Amino acid sequence: MPILALVLFVAFVMLAGVARAMIQKRSNNDTGIRARASIPAQQRARPVLLLGTVLVGVAAPVAELLGLDAVPVLDQLGIRIAGAVLAGLTLVAVLAAQSAMGASWRNDVDPDESTELVTRGPFTVVRNPIFTATFAWVLGVTFVVPNFLALAGALVVGIGLELQVRRVEEPYLRRVHGRPYHEYAARTGRFLPGIGRVPTPDLDQSA
Segment 117-149, tens digit of pLDDT: 999 999 999 999 999 999 999 999 999 999 999
Its pTM stands at: 0.90
Three-state secondary structure readout of the chain: CHHHHHHHHHHHHHHHHHHHHHHHHHHHCCCCCCCCCCCHHHHHHHHHHHHHHHHHHHHHHHHHHCCCCCCHHHCCHHHHHHHHHHHHHHHHHHHHHHHHHHHHCCCCCCCCCCCCCCCCHHHHCECCHHHHHHHHHHHHHHHHCCCHHHHHHHHHHHHHHHHHHHHHHHHHHHHHHCHHHHHHHHHCECCECCECCCCCHHHHHHC
Tell me the per-residue pLDDT of 46-65, one tens digit each, with 9 for 90 and over: 999 999 999 999 999 999 99
